[in-house]
């Protein structure tokens, strides 16, 4: 599971890395995001019907409407921000998005918390020449229109795919880690058929990853700024 990650890439760098034309970029003058939490702003790369790549800001987490058990009235929805790989092809909550609306989620690090009171926040990334080399997580997206916080809202929502952790992440989170994609697999994740796309969800090699920082209270990866 991942409930916190960062994306401190400049917009221009994201366009170049993910081959998005300026006219298909809706981020504007977006600022670096050293801490992205569920229900927060999450840039993604997706596809138009004609195959053109676009880049948009989304709401991190598929909206799951809820009603009060006492009153039966709508209450604040949940944001389901992690999609387990073992549920993608079987759960009605995820299946259509996996088949029809896969996306790339740009990131420069992700965080897992270990322990409680106080928790240790461990920030993971990939190895490279830069302080925080960029990478992409496998994601899915869908549109939402409905009651949200007492008002009608229309949103593009996203969720990252999680898989079993490698040996580097396992010591902090023994069950799940985000599915990191290799750059040569970006196109196949976006455009391939569901069977070939599913094969791309696998443990990212531990020897190609690094722990950027670890400590109590580190709820923001400001080391990437």
The predicted structure's pLDDT at residue 67: 80
| Domain presence at residue 197 | yes
CATH number, residue 183: 3.90.1680.10
Give the domain extent around 97: 5-219
pLDDT at 62: 97
User: Which parts of the chain have pLDDT scores under 70?
Assistant: 1
Secondary structure class of 10 (helix, strand, coil): coil
In a domain, 225, yes or no: no
pLDDT at residue number 208: 98
Tell me the pLDDT tens digit for each residue of 104-148: 999 999 999 998 888 999 999 999 999 999 999 999 999 999 888
**How many distinct structural domains can be found in the chain?**
1
- Examine residue 86 and state whether it is found in any structural domain, yes or no: yes
């Amino acid at each position: 599971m991942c409930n916190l990650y960062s994306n401190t890439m400049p917009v221009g760098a994201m366009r170049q890395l993910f081959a998005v034309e300026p006219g298909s970029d809706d981020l504007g003058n977006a600022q670096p995001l050293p801490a992205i939490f569920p229900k927060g702003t999450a840039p993604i790369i997706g596809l138009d019907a004609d195959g053109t790549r676009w880049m948009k800001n989304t709401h991190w987490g598929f909206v799951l409407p809820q009603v009060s058990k006492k009153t039966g009235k709508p209450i604040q929805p949940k944001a389901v921000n992690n999609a387990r790989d073992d549920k993608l092809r079987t759960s009605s909550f995820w299946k259509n998005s996996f088949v029809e609306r896969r996306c790339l989620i740009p990131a420069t690090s992700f965080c897992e918390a270990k322990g409680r009171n106080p928790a240790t926040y461990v920030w993971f990334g990939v190895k490279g020449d830069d302080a925080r080399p960029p990478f992409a997580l496998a994601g899915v997206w869908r549109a939402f229109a409905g009651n949200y916080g007492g008002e009608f809202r229309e949103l593009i929502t996203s969720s990252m795919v999680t898989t079993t952790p490698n040996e580097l992440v396992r010591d902090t989170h023994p069950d799940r880690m985000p599915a990191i994609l290799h750059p040569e697999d970006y196109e196949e994740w976006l455009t391939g058929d569901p069977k070939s796309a599913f094969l791309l969800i696998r443990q990212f090699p531990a020897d190609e990853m690094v722990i950027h920082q670890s400590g109590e209270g580190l709820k923001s990866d400001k080391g990437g700024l």
